[in-house]
């Protein structure tokens, strides 16, 4: 009878240095998108300024940056580390 050896995990790290670099880039892009979406504070809380709330930066550019950052994160996770 042959004995089965228990399955072991590969002895390398799950992610390589390049994967972590891409993850940090993705987090930075998402953080920039959230920062741009938040905008600044209003001078008078009782006055509604439509052009500030519905600006192109807040409703178009910021969400695109957040989705781009999420795409970079997916790329970083699925990218195979280079083996030497």
pLDDT tens for 52-73 read 888 888 899 999 999 999 999 9
Q: Is 41 helix (H, G, I), strand (E, B) or coil?
A: coil
- Domain boundaries defined on the chain: 17-39+49-78
Q: Model's pTM, two decimal places?
A: 0.75
Question: How far apart are alpha carbons 10 and 21 in whole angstroms?
Answer: 22
Angle at 18 between CA 17 and CA 21, to 5 degrees: 90
Question: How far apart are alpha carbons 37 and 68 in whole angstroms?
Answer: 14
- How far from chain centre, in Å, is Cα 1? 51
pLDDT tens for 40-54 read 777 887 888 888 888
Residues in the chain: 84
Higher pLDDT, 6 or 14: 14
pLDDT tens for 7-42 read 555 567 788 899 999 999 999 999 999 999 987 777
């Amino acid at each position: 009878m042959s004995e089965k050896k228990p399955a072991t995990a590969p002895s390398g790290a799950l992610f390589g240095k390049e994967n972590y670099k891409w993850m940090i880039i993705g987090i930075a892009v998402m953080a920039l998108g959230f920062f741009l979406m938040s905008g600044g504070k209003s001078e008078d809380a009782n006055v509604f300024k439509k052009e500030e709330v519905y600006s192109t930066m807040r409703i178009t550019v910021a969400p695109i940056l957040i989705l781009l950052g999420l795409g970079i994160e997916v790329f970083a996770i699925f990218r195979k580390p280079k083996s030497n």
